[in-house]
């Protein structure tokens, strides 16, 4: 280990630049941090920069803030190294020390003292660790001093190592040496541990070495990683080991950091040291400057775990204190200490039974009463489970173990025993989580704090199974309003199972979703969400528009602006912009749960009055939109199932998703959005199908009903906007469109009948045409004529007839009657065209929805046929202009001829109504796109061949028109077989060309011989080029075009029917709102419209397919739709169950469950057999032990019955007199009591080993106190002998309420027995220290003054106080000063003028307790005795109670006083809770 190297002597530097000023030393009695207090962060590292930059920061940050320890004074030790060499007291060789450590002048001649001779200096081992020979297993490591503040290590892990704060801390402890576990139990433990870590996002902390329980954890993580193929399967496993016990640690030393450091795992040669486990992800190597000493890391590990458990983790909007749980496998004495310390600190422990040694000892006695856990029982268990090392257990060690195990078992709420047959095969994770919930449930709390805390944990861990089984039980009634904050948290963190659970538990979305709730939800959209970026863009535009420097706060009208872009402008804004600036806010009365994400806090919404809450019109719609814009499939599905207007909701979601998919850059997200959009379209189809089967008329009403919730649009309009062809092509929708197409006519009227009646309208009054409405059936009805000619099909036929007449007349004028001066026929064409222009203008300006001229113009231009109409009209006007000028008459006729072509193309729109021709027109439109792209390919070959041909054949052709002919036109005609005659020279004729290119009607001749005028160009080359050109164009490209047409035809043919049905709607809607008269008579309708709108100012009539229903009718229709939606969802569930794949999965799951049950039954049977064998062995052993006594008894010897009971089976004795007075660690000091098991508490019981330490504190603020030590100075014994016990000693009352107490060696003896500590401790007098505890109560009342009851009993409120430097609440009382009648602590909270009146209240009160008080401060020679007096105010208007409230005060700003509901879980001192129990029993109140 010579590579420790030479390091310059560096004094420890201050860590204040990364640590708060107070340092890491705890205060005397630190106040408990609230659940929502966040520890201030240390200086931030550059976690957001690149990886290389982060490494540079790490190299500079660690040496400045992390230290190691080095021995600076070499002193020979009596022990030697493994190789027999001389070592220092620190365990290192001489050459492994610093150069000046051998002869430091300041330490010369002194004994080795680690406090002075070990010095801190910057660490030299950190970076990445790679285990050679084990693939690419790389982790992080750092060497730290044993005195490193935990906050620095936590900062390193979260800021520099990039670890997310854990949701749970699992501390695994147990045997450090390899031990044997049953294979089944080993598998259960591994799978359960990994499952709980992976599902909750926990950190696992172990000892980090490749032995014992640490190896078991590492192998569990390894197996999980091998079976997991994704990155999310990484589990944070932190090993905290002792640097001086790590084998091959030399390879980790690198002053500038190892990136990576190669580490060899060599178990064969490690000797007494240990290798690091290769399956851990992070290592913290604790250095105290020594070598080969195990356990150095335990204090730092304990402090680090405690520090982490005090941090607040915010995840999914829920802020929780990071919980910690201790998992125990096997283990020895050190493990018992770890369990005891964990239980003492309130950490729940899970003991795995069957793992061996300590774990089995505790597991086997855990269910016994504490009185039955005796020294003899523990001795017997140790002899069985520690058979190899049992002889090392001394009698004092047995006593200590018994005491600790008793204390551990006494805290049953913190102890969970995992038994293989109890929880099942793979439920260690459930046992761990249940242990945390059990500890939280049994923890003292105010109100429902613990239930809230448990629910927060379940949400943070995303364990809905635990929430169902452990939280939502009959033990607690949850109000729906209590769940609102966690409901918001579950939504933000995308936990659909919890959202579903909360809805099952009664959360009403109408009460949950308010205006400010929505703002909060949209504020916390993920930054990667496309909708979030669109919102930011809107906010940025608003800031630029208002010329402000600050980004405006997000409001719902911003969301509405983005939604309108997605839903289309046919919808009205979903969230109108408020006229006033200040709006009411949300009120959620749950102050114990803080939800904050990205700086926004839902808790701030709780501070508004509940009467000012602004609820939204449709909360289900609002939540559904919020979920859909984030592409949260499961969440949206759950919320959609709650919706009332479900069909419109599904179609709107489909539209939103399709629009977002167009802008999404990530391909996978785009595919997911499109798939989800298609799924919602199928939902709408499914619901509509069920509705249409039940009632066709009501189903069709759903299509045209104006939905106020979705921007006053209709389901049909939403489907068209989203281009949901499957929905529009549904038979029910098409039947409705057909019904609209025929107007008031019956749809079974033949087309020939309609045409006949249209041409000869008197036939309408015959039976040739039938109408749907009965009122139109009478023959003489005048409305028949109006009903017939306003039917869209009749309007369409008349317009066709009119249009054909227009085209015939136009063609006649162009070909026959085109005179220099226009004839009446030509004027008629102009008039006809003017009517067409007016109709197009009407369509452009018709705006019943109030969208505006600009938006209507954009919608008008989007239609292809409207573009064609504009083009035809503009060309016609251009031709008309030229035609009216005599000099341009002929060009005018040419332009008008082109206009005629465009007008003829407009006929294709008319044919779209035909089921036969309509699909073919769609195919033609698609093929035109193919031709357009094909021309790009063809142009390459045409131009390349044309240019080469022209350059080879003809020299310097300067005429542009003939250049175009030669390059493009001739090359294009060559494809169709018109090959130029001069290209091969055989058919060359010089008369067909112009030699000099002077003849404008002939091409220029090719290169020829000057003598015989024969062509001289290379014929072989031109022929080859021609052949290649024809090969690629005629064969390759044309066949490619045919293949493209074929593909397009097949592709479109499959969906032709759907596409035709979808586009059919546009034609039907156009003629449904078109004036009935055909052009040019349509001008009469336009004139009528102008009079109504311009002169009479009447609003535009809605001709669109919309219907506004009455409220009652709409409510009934939506209820009917919701009922059928439920049927649809149930049918879908049944289909999923009948699915073959699902059935196979169900069968496989049942087989697995059956196999588990059979396996479990076998385990139980095996366990029963083992239990019976063990019982039989115990009986045999007991009989063998009792046999000598029985022989002596029959020989006439008399034995004391009590002794027999003590040696044999223990008696069922009463509980010990005091428990708190025997806690091993005396409060406010580092003094440890002598362990006193329950059976050794009475002074009458012989206890030869009893040798308690002595401790007496010096109270400088006390005027009267006994000597603070037993023999501090000469004469102190005399002062002790002067004390008069069992009587009044001056002002000090040394009389006990329990009568005379014994005095031994000048010191009184505690009347309740041994405590494990001599002296007076923190009490100021030997013997009884008298106290007074008034219990002031009143009835808990409602606002109306009635008394609140629970379990048929009245509920009390008690006056409690929290004093400075204390983290618990207490009754307002305490120790009595000599000669005083009121405690000092009581005087702190009452004004002086009220003291006499309060004494009168005490005299009138009822004494509920008078005697010994089990107090942690009690000792063998000093104890607390108190008088508890109940002062109860029975009436609400009690004058004394009002005066008491008015005289309550606090002499200290940190002193808190409150009336608190009396409950057994109220967080008071344990002995004070016993007094409250007596008061509640006295008053017959709930406890």
Average pLDDT rounded to a whole number, residues 642-669: 92
Q: Record the pTM.
A: 0.72
Structure confidence by residue, pLDDT tens digits, 1445-1473: 777 765 556 678 888 888 777 778 778 88
Give the Cα separation of 413 and 399 in Å (integer): 24
The Cα-based distances of 1481 to 598, 962, 1355 in angstroms read: 50, 118, 12
Lay out the sheet containing 282-287: strands in order across: 258-263, 126-131, 138-145, 282-287, 236-242, 202-206, 168-174, 324-329, 349-352, 415-418
Per-residue confidence (pLDDT) for residue 6, from 0 to 100? 34
With a CB cutoff of 8 Å and minimum separation 6, the contacts of 386 are: 357, 393
Check: CB of residue 971 under 8 Å from CB of residue 945.
yes
For 1107, phi then psi, to 5°, come to -145, 120
Q: Nearest 5°: CA angle at 10, between 6 and 12? A: 135
Model pLDDT, residue 897: 93
Nearest Cα to Cα of residue 352 among 186, 211, 225, 490 = 186
Enclosing H/E stretch for 122: strand 118-122
Element spanning 1356, H or E: strand 1356-1362
The helix (H) or strand (E) run that includes residue 1350 is: strand 1349-1350
Neighbour count for residue 1067 (Cβ, 10 Å): 19
Which residues, in sequence order, are CB contacts of 109 under 8 Å at separation 6+? none
Task: Note the pLDDT of residue 1095.
Answer: 75
Q: Please write the tens of the pLDDT for every residue from 937-992.
A: 888 888 888 888 888 888 788 788 888 888 888 888 888 877 776 676 666 677 77
Q: What is the largest CA-CA distance in the chain?
A: 162
Torsion of CA 1344, 1350, 1351, 1357, to 10 degrees: -120
For residues 1088 and 1096, give the distance between their C-alpha atoms in angstroms, rounded to a whole number: 11
Higher pLDDT, 734 or 23: 734
Residue 1347 has pLDDT above 80, yes or no: yes
**H helices present in 345-416, as ranges:** 357-365, 375-385, 395-410
Query: Cα(1248)–Cα(448) distance, rounded to whole angstroms?
Result: 49
How far CA 776 is from CA of 744, 746, 771, 1281, in Å, comes to 9, 11, 6, 124
Question: pLDDT for 363-375, tens place per residue?
Answer: 999 989 988 899 9
Higher pLDDT, 650 or 18: 650
Mean per-residue pLDDT over the chain, rounded: 80
Instruction: Return d(Cα 587, Cα 614) in angstroms, integer.
Output: 10
Which pairing describes strands 324-329 and 349-352: parallel, antiparallel, or unpaired? parallel
Enumerate long-range contacts of 1078-1082, CB under 8 Å, 24 or more apart.
1078/795, 1078/798, 1078/799, 1078/801, 1078/802, 1079/799, 1079/802, 1079/803, 1079/806, 1079/832, 1079/835, 1079/836, 1079/839, 1080/802, 1080/831, 1080/832, 1080/834, 1080/835, 1081/835, 1082/835, 1082/838, 1082/839
**CA-CA distance, 288 to 296, in Å (whole number)?**
7
What span, in angstroms and rounded, lies between the C-alpha atoms of 456 and 442? Answer: 16
Is 13 a residue whose pLDDT tops 50? no
Hey, what are 509's tokens?
């979305």
pLDDT score of 1002 more than 90: no
Which one is predicted more confidently, 1003 or 133?
Answer: 1003
Asked if the bond preceding 1160 is cis, omega within 30° of 0, the reply is no
Name the strand (E) or helix (H) holding 1427. Answer: strand 1422-1433
Percent of the chain with pLDDT over 90: 27
Q: What is the Cα–Cα distance from 210 to 223, expressed in whole angstroms?
A: 15
Phi-psi category of residue 356: left, alpha or beta, with phi > 0 → left and psi -120 to 50 → alpha: left
Q: pLDDT digit string (tens) for 517-570?
A: 899 999 989 888 999 999 999 998 888 888 777 788 888 889 999 998 898 877
Q: Which long-range contacts (CB under 8 A, 24 or more apart) does 1288-1293 make?
A: 1290/1378, 1291/1264, 1291/1378, 1291/1379, 1292/1264, 1292/1325, 1292/1378, 1293/1328, 1293/1330, 1293/1378
Q: Is the pLDDT of residue 17 over 90?
A: no
Q: CA nearest 167: which of 298, 43, 325, 302?
A: 325
Q: How far is CA 492 from the centre of its chain?
A: 6
- Per DSSP, 607 falls in state G
Q: Which residue has the higher pLDDT, 377 or 1211?
A: 377
834, HSE (Cβ side, Cα atoms, 13 Å) = 11
For residues 789 and 801, the answer to whether their CB atoms sit within 8 Å is no
In order of 517, 597, 610, 922, the CA distances from 607 in angstroms are 13, 18, 9, 61
Instruction: Return d(Cα 915, Cα 1060) in angstroms, integer.
Output: 8
pLDDT at 1422: 93
- Looking at residue 427, its pLDDT comes to 74
- Give the Cα separation of 273 and 292 in Å (integer): 7
- Cα distance between residue 1260 and residue 705, in whole Å: 85
- Helices and strands: H and E segment counts in the chain: 50, 32
Average of per-residue pLDDT across 455-461:
82
**Is residue 692 predicted with pLDDT exceeding 90?**
yes
144: enclosing H helix or E strand: strand 138-145
Least confident of 120-129, 278-287, 549-558, 692-701: 549-558
Name all contacts of 6-9 with Cβ < 8 Å and 24+ positions apart: 6/98, 6/99, 7/70, 7/98, 7/121, 7/124, 9/72, 9/98, 9/100, 9/119, 9/121
The bridge status of strand 1356-1362 relative to strand 1456-1461 is antiparallel
Structure confidence at residue 647 as a pLDDT band (50, 70, 90): very high
Least confident of 6-15, 598-607, 1018-1027: 6-15
Which three-class secondary structure state does DSSP give residue 377?
helix
Residue 1336, CB-side half-sphere exposure with 13 Å CA sphere: 24
User: Which of 1218, 1416, 1237, 1428 has its CA nearest to residue 1334?
Assistant: 1428
- Half-sphere exposure for 1423 (CA within 13 Å, toward CB): 30
Query: What does the block give as tokens for 429?
Result: 């994770």
Query: Bridge-partner residues for 329, per DSSP?
Result: 174
What's the rounded Cα separation, in Å, for the pair 788 and 795? 9
- 1043, pLDDT greater than 50: yes
Per-residue model confidence as pLDDT tens digits over 842-863: 888 877 766 777 878 888 888 8
Query: What pLDDT, on the 0 to 100 scale, is given for residue 44?
Result: 38
């Amino acid at each position: 280990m010579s590579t420790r190297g030479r390091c310059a002597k560096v004094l420890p530097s201050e860590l204040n630049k990364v640590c708060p000023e107070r340092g890491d030393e705890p205060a005397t009695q630190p106040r408990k941090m609230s659940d929502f207090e966040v520890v201030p962060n240390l200086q931030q590292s550059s976690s957001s920069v690149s990886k290389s930059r982060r490494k540079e920061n790490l190299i500079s940050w660690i040496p400045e803030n992390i230290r190691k320890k080095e021995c600076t004074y070499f002193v020979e030790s009596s022990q030697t190294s493994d190789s027999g060499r001389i070592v220092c007291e620190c365990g290192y060789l001489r050459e492994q020390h610093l150069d000046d450590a051998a002869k430091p002048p300041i330490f010369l001649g002194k004994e080795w003292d680690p406090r002075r001779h070990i010095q801190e200096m910057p660490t030299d081992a950190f970076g990445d660790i790679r285990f050679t020979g084990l693939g690419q297993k790389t982790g992080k490591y750092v060497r730290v001093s044993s005195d490193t503040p935990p906050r620095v290590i936590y900062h390193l892990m979260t800021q520099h190592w990039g670890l997310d704060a854990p949701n749970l801390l699992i501390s695994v402890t147990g045997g450090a040496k390899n031990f044997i576990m049953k294979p089944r139990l080993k598998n259960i433990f591994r799978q359960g541990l990994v499952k709980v870590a992976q599902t909750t996002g926990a950190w696992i902390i172990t000892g980090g070495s490749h032995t014992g329980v640490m190896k078991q954890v590492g192998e569990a993580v390894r197996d999980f990683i091998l079976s997991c193929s994704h990155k999310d399967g990484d589990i944070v496993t932190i090993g905290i080991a002792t640097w001086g016990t790590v084998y091959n640690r030399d390879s980790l030393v690198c002053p500038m950091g190892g990136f990576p450091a190669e580490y060899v795992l060599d178990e064969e040669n490690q000797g007494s040291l240990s290798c690091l486990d290769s399956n851990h992800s992070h290592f913290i190597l604790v250095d105290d400057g020594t070598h080969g000493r195990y356990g150095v890391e335990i204090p730092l590990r304990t402090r680090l775990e405690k520090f982490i458990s005090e941090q607040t983790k915010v995840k999914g909007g829920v802020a929780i204190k990071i919980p910690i749980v201790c998992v125990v496998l096997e283990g020895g004495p050190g493990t018992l200490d770890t369990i005891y310390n964990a239980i003492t600190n309130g950490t729940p422990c899970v003991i795995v039974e069957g793992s061996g040694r300590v774990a089995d000892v505790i597991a086997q006695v855990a269910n016994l009463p504490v009185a039955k856990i005796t020294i003899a029982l523990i001795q017997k268990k140790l002899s069985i489970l520690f058979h190899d090392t049992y002889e090392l257990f001394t009698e004092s060690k047995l006593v200590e173990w018994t005491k600790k195990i008793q204390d551990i078992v006494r805290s049953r709420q913190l102890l969970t025993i995992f038994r293989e047959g109890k929880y099942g095969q793979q439920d260690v994770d459930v046992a761990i989580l249940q242990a945390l919930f059990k500890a939280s449930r049994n923890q003292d709390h105010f109100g429902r704090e613990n239930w809230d805390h448990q629910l927060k944990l379940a949400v943070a861990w995303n364990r809905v199974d635990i929430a169902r089984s452990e939280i939502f039980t009959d033990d607690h009634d949850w109000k729906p309003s209590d769940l609102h904050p966690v409901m918001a948290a579950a939504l933000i963190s995308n936990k659909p199972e919890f959202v579903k659970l909360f809805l099952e538990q009664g959360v009403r979305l109408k009460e949950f979703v308010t205006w400010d709730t929505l703002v909060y939800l949209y504020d916390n959209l993920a930054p990667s969400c496309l909708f979030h970026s669109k919102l930011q863009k809107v906010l940025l535009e608003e800031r630029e528009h208002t010329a402000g420097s600050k980004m405006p706060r997000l409001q719902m009208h911003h969301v509405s602006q983005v939604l309108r872009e997605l839903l289309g402008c046919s919808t009205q804004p979903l969230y109108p912009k408020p006229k006033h600036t200040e709006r009411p806010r949300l009120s959620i009365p749950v102050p114990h749960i803080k939800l904050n994400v990205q700086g926004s806090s839902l808790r701030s919404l709780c501070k508004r009055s509940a009467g000012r809450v602004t609820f939204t019109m449709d909360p289900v719609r609002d939540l559904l939109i919020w979920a859909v814009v984030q592409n949260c499939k499961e969440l949206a599905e759950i919320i959609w199932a709650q919706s009332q207007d479900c069909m419109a909701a599904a179609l709107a979601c489909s539209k939103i998703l399709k629009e977002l998919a167009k802008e999404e850059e990530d391909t996978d997200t785009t595919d997911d959005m499109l798939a989800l959009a298609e799924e919602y379209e199928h939902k709408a189809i499914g619901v509509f199908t069920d509705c249409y089967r039940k009632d066709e008329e009501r189903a069709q009403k759903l299509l045209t009903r104006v939905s106020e919730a979705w921007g006053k649009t209709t389901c049909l309009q939403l489907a068209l906007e989203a281009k949901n062809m499957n929905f529009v092509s549904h038979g029910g929708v098409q039947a409705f469109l057909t019904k609209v197409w025929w107007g008031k006519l019956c749809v079974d009227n033949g087309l020939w009948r309609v045409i006949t009646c249209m041409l000869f309208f008197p036939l309408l009054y015959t039976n040739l045409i039938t109408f749907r409405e009965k009122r139109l059936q009478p023959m003489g009805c005048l409305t028949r004529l109006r009903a017939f000619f306003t039917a869209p099909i009749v309007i369409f036929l008349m317009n066709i007839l009119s249009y054909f007449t227009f085209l015939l007349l136009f063609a006649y004028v162009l070909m026959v009657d085109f005179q220099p001066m226009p004839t009446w026929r030509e004027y008629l064409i102009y008039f006809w065209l003017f009517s067409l222009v007016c109709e197009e203008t009407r369509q452009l300006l018709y705006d019943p929805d109030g969208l505006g001229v600009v938006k209507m113009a954009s919608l008008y231009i989007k239609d292809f046929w409207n573009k064609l109409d504009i083009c035809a009209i503009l060309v016609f006007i251009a031709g008309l202009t030229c035609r009216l000028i005599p000099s341009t008459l002929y060009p005018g006729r040419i332009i008008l001829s082109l206009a005629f072509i465009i007008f003829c193309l407009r006929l294709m729109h008319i044919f779209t109504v035909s089921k036969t021709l309509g699909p073919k027109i769609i195919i033609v439109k698609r093929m035109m796109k193919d031709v357009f792209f094909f021309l790009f390919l063809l142009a390459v070959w045409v131009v390349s061949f044309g240019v080469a041909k022209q350059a080879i054949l003809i020299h310097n052709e300067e005429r542009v028109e003939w250049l175009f002919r030669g390059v493009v036109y001739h090359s294009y005609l060559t494809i169709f077989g018109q090959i130029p005659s001069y290209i091969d020279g055989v058919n060359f004729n010089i008369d067909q060309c112009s030699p000099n290119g002077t003849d404008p009607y002939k091409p220029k001749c090719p290169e020829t011989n000057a003598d015989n005028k024969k062509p001289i160009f290379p014929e072989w080359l031109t022929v080859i080029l021609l052949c290649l050109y024809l090969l690629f164009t005629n064969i390759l490209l044309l066949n490619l075009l045919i293949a493209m047409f074929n593909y397009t035809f097949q592709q479109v043919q499959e969906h032709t029917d759907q596409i035709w049905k979808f586009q059919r709607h546009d034609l039907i809607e156009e003629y449904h709102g078109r004036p009935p008269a055909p052009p040019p008579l349509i001008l009469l309708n336009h004139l009528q419209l102008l009079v109504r709108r311009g002169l009479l100012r009447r609003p535009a009539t809605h001709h669109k397919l919309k219907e506004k229903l009455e409220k009652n009718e709409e409510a009934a229709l939506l209820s009917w739709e919701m009922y059928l939606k439920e049927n649809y969802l149930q049918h879908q569930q049944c289909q999923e169950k009948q699915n073959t794949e699902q059935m196979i999965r169900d069968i496989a799951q049942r087989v697995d469950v059956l196999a588990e049950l059979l396996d479990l039954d076998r385990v139980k049977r095996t366990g029963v057999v083992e239990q019976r064998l063990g019982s039989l062995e115990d009986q045999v052993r007991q009989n063998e032990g009792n046999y000598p006594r029985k022989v002596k008894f029959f020989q006439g010897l008399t034995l004391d019955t009590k002794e027999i009971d003590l040696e044999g089976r223990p008696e069922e004795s009463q509980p010990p007199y005091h428990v708190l007075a025997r806690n091993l660690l005396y409060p406010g000091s580092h003094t440890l009591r002598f362990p006193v098991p329950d059976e050794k508490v009475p002074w009458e019981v012989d206890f030869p080993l009893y040798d308690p330490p002595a401790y007496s504190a010096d109270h400088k603020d006390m005027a009267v106190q006994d000597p603070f030590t037993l023999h501090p100075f000469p004469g102190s014994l005399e002062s002790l002998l002067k004390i008069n016990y069992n009587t009044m000693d001056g002002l000090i009352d040394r009389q006990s309420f329990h009568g005379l107490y014994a005095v031994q060696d000048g010191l009184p003896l505690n009347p309740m027995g041994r405590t494990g500590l001599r002296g007076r401790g923190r009490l100021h007098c030997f013997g009884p220290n008298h106290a007074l505890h008034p219990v002031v109560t009143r009835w808990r009342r409602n606002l109306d003054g009635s008394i609140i009851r629970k379990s048929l009993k009245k509920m009390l409120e008690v006056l409690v106080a929290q004093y400075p430097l204390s983290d618990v609440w207490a009754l307002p009382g305490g120790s009595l000063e000599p000669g005083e009648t009121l405690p000092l602590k009581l005087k702190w909270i009452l004004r002086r003028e009220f003291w006499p009146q309060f004494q009168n209240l005490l005299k009138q009160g009822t004494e509920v307790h008078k005697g010994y008080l089990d107090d942690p401060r009690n000792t063998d020679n000093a104890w607390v005795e108190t008088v508890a007096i109940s002062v109860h105010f029975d009436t609400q208007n009690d004058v004394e109670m009002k005066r008491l409230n008015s005289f309550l005060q606090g002499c200290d700003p940190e002193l808190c006083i409150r009336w608190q509901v009396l409950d057994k879980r109220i967080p008071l001192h344990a002995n004070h809770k016993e007094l409250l129990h007596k008061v509640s029993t006295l008053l017959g109140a709930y406890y």
